[in-house]
Amino acid sequence: MVNHFPGFETFAMDFKETELTLGPPGEFRVSGRKSGKKRGFPEMLDLNLSGPNGRRNDSGAQLEQEASSSPKSPAAKEQLVGWPPLRASRKNAMRSGGSNYVKVAVDGAPYLRKVDLQMYISYEQLLKALEDMFCYFTIRNYFMEPMNGYEYVPTYEDKDGDWMMVGDVPWKIFVESCKRIRLMKGSEAAGLEPRTPPQNAVMEAAEEDSG
Amino acid sequence: MNYFPEEVLEHILDFVTSNKERNAVSLVCKTWYKVERESRYRVFIGNCYATNPERLIARFPRVKSLTLKGKPHFADFNLVPHDWGGFVDPWIKTLARACPGFEELRLKRMVVSDEILELLSKSFVNFKSLVLVSCDGFSTDGLAAIAANCRYLRELDLQENEVDDRSGHWLSCFPESCTSLVSLNFACLKGEINLSVLERLVARNPNLRSLRLNRAVPVETLQKIITKAHRLVDLGTGSFIHDPKSETYQKLKNAMSKCESIRSLSGFLDVAPHCLTAVYPICPHLTSLNLSYAPGINSNELIKLIRHCRKLQRLWILDCVGDKGLGIVAATCKELEELRVFPSDPFGPGNAAVTEEGLVAISVGCHKLHSLLYFCQQMTNAALITIAKNCPNFIRFRLCILDPAKPDPDTMDPLDEGFGAIVQSCKRLRRLSISGLLSDKVFLYIGTYAEQLEMLSIAFAGESDKAMLYVLNGCKKLRKLEIRDCPFGNMALLADVGKYETMRSLWMSSCEVTLQGCKTLARLMPKLNVEIINENDLWDEIPADDDRKKVEKMYLYRTLVGPRQDAPGFVWTL
């Protein structure tokens, strides 16, 4: 379907969503169901319902992206209602649990690393782990002043896309809002340096962490 | 036997506690029926719509304890619309009128309101025990009424309910005179709790044996509580995050090491790695451990913990434990009777997963195992055959392969032979859930060998109506059958309509059954309620004679009291 509208891709996807089908609207089920055929053995093998790309999503937009990117039947990647057979309370617990990997970039390092924020219970632990990971760097300990050119300032990108200094908010809030971490070279981070180190915020954070 | 005094009979019947046996007793003759019904105090009603409150009171006027179940089991997985039914109101209202001595209420999958909880709390002077499992419709205001008014309350047990948590003040409503608590479980509440009120409550209830806290209770409070509750046998922690280097941790570990009585441990609703070491002191005594709500603990930490738990009989855990971890369980927990392994990432394989290897290891090491719920990535026939040989004692066997209709990865065969081995070997099997790729053959095995089977759950399985018929014809003790996404249609549904009066209920969703088939069944069997759940507005526009339309969800059950009056608009009783 040739279409010269700007945002053609989006339009095509929306069109698909409004396409008339014989089945009821609402949640999708296994695509084979609509055809009314009895499910035979070879058809079963084609079902690929929860492969690594079968991520749950509530927003139609993300679903459409997957549909357009893979040549396979998009219906196969959709979520089945009530499957796996788990109570809602367990499903919710799972989603909030699991792992929370974020990328860690260090200025000047040739490649990035990843850490699971759920593995740590305090800033101290995280920064120690990062120091171990990038053992040839020293991460600036914001308790101390002043910093020299070899040290790095830990910063992170939050949910709003802003680059923040690590340590200002309580640990739990940090874990929830951190999307990626960047260890900034000391000299570059000069602008971020507060006149007085935010002792109180960090002390409160430390207390909260040990509580 | 010409003359047998009723008093003697009643005295003897006191020793018959199982309701199954009492039901049998009541069938002997009219006298025995009369004596039995007047002396039955605990009544169990597995489907609240099979009868009604008036009949309950008429037959068992002295009822003191009532267990009621409402929604079908698949409601747990969001397959039943929210307001389908299962309201407890008429039951409480009738009991309030007729049974002032009522003491104990246990509800599962029912709708409870704050008003009803208040009525309950004010109607029964001796009310002792409220257990709500998977219920909804109430808030902490209702709990406040229970706390305030039930002077002799022993048990308040809330398991997995959807509660509107308005504030933690309900806990303050327990008066100072409340000292009779034996069991308090509020783990499912999501809101804040007044911690000092909680501490004082525990301090003045020395008989507390079971205490399960919610996420809002931090480790500091837990530590204080443990030192005060000396008789605690069952503990559910709240949040379990602490720094292993902190003083709190030390205090907690000390408190734990003084706990001689704890046998059952659960909770860990928030936990970070390195926090589990605090509970090592009580692990050697534990018979029951539930870590299934604690994601984020890796396999090694779980293994380290489990090595301390040699006496475990029940273990609920996440699949992060891995096959290797299950091997350690098998080597350590020789007394294990019940195992549940839940998925930590239900929507993708991820790294954390268990396969058939873990379960085989368990079957080799844990010969006392009789109850299993196992979510896994894959299963093979060979493994199931081995498991069946190693563990012939299964009573409950529920296997969920996360990828629906997945075949044996080694042979690409269906898993018919594997499950066939299970039903053949496990002669005491009462509950079975099957998954993976399955043809009609497995159902032939089930119908042939599963003689004690009472409950069967099927999803994405089978090839034809014959499969369902094998089960209906073969499993004489079948009570509950639930089926989703299987190619079973009217032929299977209607082949033996009398069968359904011997069962509690049948659920079929996303199958091939049509409106015509359901209507026919309803016409033939007036003692069944055949309900169609139709959530979908479009259907109202389809002409009434389109009986060929497939039914999305059908739930039928035997009943003494005809169609229910409280069905919402989207439920049609045919």
Rg (CA), chain B: 25
Q: Are B245 and B220 in contact (CB under 8 A)?
A: no
C-alpha distances in angstroms, B558 versus B26, B467, B526, B539? 20, 23, 9, 26
3-state helix, strand, coil in chain B (%, to 5): 35, 20, 45
pLDDT tens per residue, range B157-172: 999 999 998 876 999 9
Q: Is the pLDDT of residue A181 over 60?
A: yes
The average pLDDT across A159-175 equals: 87
Residue B189: other Cβ atoms inside 10 A: 22
pLDDT tens per residue, range A13-52: 444 444 444 444 443 333 333 333 344 333 333 333 333 3
Q: In Å, how far from its chain's centre is CA B171?
A: 26
Reduced to 3 states (helix: H, G, I; strand: E, B; else coil), residue B57 is: helix
pLDDT tens per residue, range B7-28: 888 888 889 888 889 999 989 9
What pLDDT, on a 0 to 100 scale, did the predictor assign at position A132? Answer: 74
Interface of B with A in 175-214 (CB under 8 A): 188
Q: Is A209 on the interface with B (CB under 8 A)?
A: yes
Instruction: Determine the distance in angstroms separating the CA of A120 from the nearest CA of chain B, rounded to an integer.
Output: 7
Which chain A residues are Cβ-neighbours of B512 within 8 angstroms?
36, 38
Which chain A residues are Cβ-neighbours of B241 within 8 angstroms?
121
Instruction: Determine the distance in angstroms separating the CA of A98 from the nearest CA of chain B, rounded to an integer.
Output: 5
3-state helix, strand, coil in chain A (%, to 5): 40, 15, 50
The average pLDDT across B423-435 equals: 98
pLDDT tens per residue, range B492-516: 999 999 999 999 999 999 999 999 9
pLDDT tens per residue, range B270-311: 887 788 999 999 999 999 999 999 877 878 889 999 999 999
Backbone angles phi, psi at B353, to 5 degrees: -170, 155
Give the burial class of B27: count Cβ atoms within 10 A of its Cβ; 0-12 exposed, 13-18 middle, 19 or more buried. exposed
Which of A74-88, A143-157, B45-59, B234-248 ranks highest by mean pLDDT?
Answer: B45-59
Which of A38-52, B257-271, B447-461 ranks highest by mean pLDDT?
Answer: B447-461
C-alpha distances in angstroms, A138 versus A115, A135, A186, B363? 17, 7, 10, 50
- In chain B, whose CA is at the least distance from the CA of A92? B293
Quick check: A94 and B295 CB within 8 A?
Answer: yes
Q: Are B372 and B341 in contact (CB under 8 A)?
A: no
Which residue in B54, B169, B381, B340 sits closest to A90, CA to CA? B340
Which chain B residues are Cβ-neighbours of A39 within 8 angstroms?
405, 460, 463, 487
Which chain B residues are Cβ-neighbours of A76 within 8 angstroms?
none
Q: Is A88 on the interface with B (CB under 8 A)?
A: yes
A172: confidence class by pLDDT, cuts 50, 70, 90: confident
Interface of B with A in 160-179 (CB under 8 A): 160
Which residue in A53, A67, A82 sits closest to B80, CA to CA? A82
| B118 against A211, higher pLDDT | B118
Q: Is the pLDDT of residue A72 over 80?
A: no
The average pLDDT across B455-460 equals: 98
Q: Which of B76, B316, B416, B534 to mutate to test the interface with A (most CBs of A within 10 A)?
A: B76
Quick check: A84 and B134 CB within 8 A?
Answer: no
Q: Is the ipTM reported for this complex over the cut 0.90?
A: no
Quick check: B539 and A24 CB within 8 A?
Answer: yes
Backbone angles phi, psi at A23, to 5 degrees: -80, 175
| Structure-token match 């020789």, residue found | B334
Quick check: A90 and B404 CB within 8 A?
Answer: no
Asked which of A94-98, B25-29, B568-572 is least confident by mean pLDDT, the reply is A94-98
B523: confidence class by pLDDT, cuts 50, 70, 90: very high
pLDDT tens per residue, range B332-391: 999 999 999 999 876 655 555 899 999 999 999 999 999 999 999 999 999 999 999 999
- In chain B, whose CA is at the least distance from the CA of A78? B347
Which residue in A175, A26, A180 sits closest to A112, CA to CA? A180
Q: Is B466 on the interface with A (CB under 8 A)?
A: no
Which tokens in the block code for residue B364? 């080799």
Quick check: A97 and B294 CB within 8 A?
Answer: yes
Q: Is the pLDDT of residue A131 over 70?
A: yes
Q: Is A21 on the interface with B (CB under 8 A)?
A: no
Asked which of A71-75, B192-196, B322-326 is least confident by mean pLDDT, the reply is A71-75
Q: Is the pLDDT of residue A201 over 50?
A: no
Reduced to 3 states (helix: H, G, I; strand: E, B; else coil), residue B165 is: coil
pLDDT tens per residue, range B302-321: 999 999 999 999 999 999 89
B425: confidence class by pLDDT, cuts 50, 70, 90: very high
What pLDDT, on a 0 to 100 scale, did the predictor assign at position B455? Answer: 98
A120: confidence class by pLDDT, cuts 50, 70, 90: confident
Q: Is the pLDDT of residue A87 over 70?
A: yes
Interface of A with B in 40-59 (CB under 8 A): 40-41, 44-45, 47, 49-52, 54-56
Q: Is the pLDDT of residue B266 over 60?
A: yes
Which chain B residues are Cβ-neighbours of A211 within 8 angstroms?
218-220, 242, 246, 248
| A154 against B86, higher pLDDT | B86
Which chain B residues are Cβ-neighbours of A98 within 8 angstroms?
295-296, 344-345, 350
Quick check: A121 and B243 CB within 8 A?
Answer: yes
Average pLDDT, chain B: 93
What pLDDT, on a 0 to 100 scale, did the predictor assign at position B353? Answer: 83
Which residues, in sequence order, are CB contacts of B401 under 8 Å at separation 6+?
B376, B377, B378, B379, B435, B436
Quick check: A86 and B77 CB within 8 A?
Answer: yes
| B348 against A165, higher pLDDT | A165
SS (H, E, C) A127-182: HHHHHHHCCCCEECCCCCCCCCCCEEEEEEECCCCCEEECCCCCHHHHHHHCCEEE
Q: pTM of the predicted model, to two decimals?
A: 0.78
What pLDDT, on a 0 to 100 scale, did the predictor assign at position A35? Answer: 34
Q: Are B210 and B183 in contact (CB under 8 A)?
A: yes
| Structure-token match 């079957």, residue found | B363
- In chain B, whose CA is at the least distance from the CA of A88? B77
Q: In Å, how far from its chain's centre is CA B267?
A: 17
A135: confidence class by pLDDT, cuts 50, 70, 90: low
Q: Are B498 and B474 in contact (CB under 8 A)?
A: no
| A15 against B98, higher pLDDT | B98
Which residue in B219, B316, B210, B326 sits closest to B271, CA to CA? B219
Quick check: B79 and A88 CB within 8 A?
Answer: no
Quick check: B293 and A33 CB within 8 A?
Answer: no
Closest partner residue to B272 (CB to CB) among A54, A55, A121 is A121
Q: Is B266 on the interface with A (CB under 8 A)?
A: no
What pLDDT, on a 0 to 100 scale, did the predictor assign at position A129? Answer: 80
SS (H, E, C) B71-132: CCHHHHHCCCCCCCCCECHHHHHHHHHHCCCCCEEEEECCECCHHHHHHHHHHCCCCCEEEE
Quick check: B347 and A54 CB within 8 A?
Answer: yes
Q: Is A24 on the interface with B (CB under 8 A)?
A: yes
Q: Is the pLDDT of residue B472 over 90?
A: yes
pLDDT tens per residue, range B540-564: 544 455 788 889 999 999 999 999 9
Closest partner residue to B344 (CB to CB) among A44, A98, A121 is A98
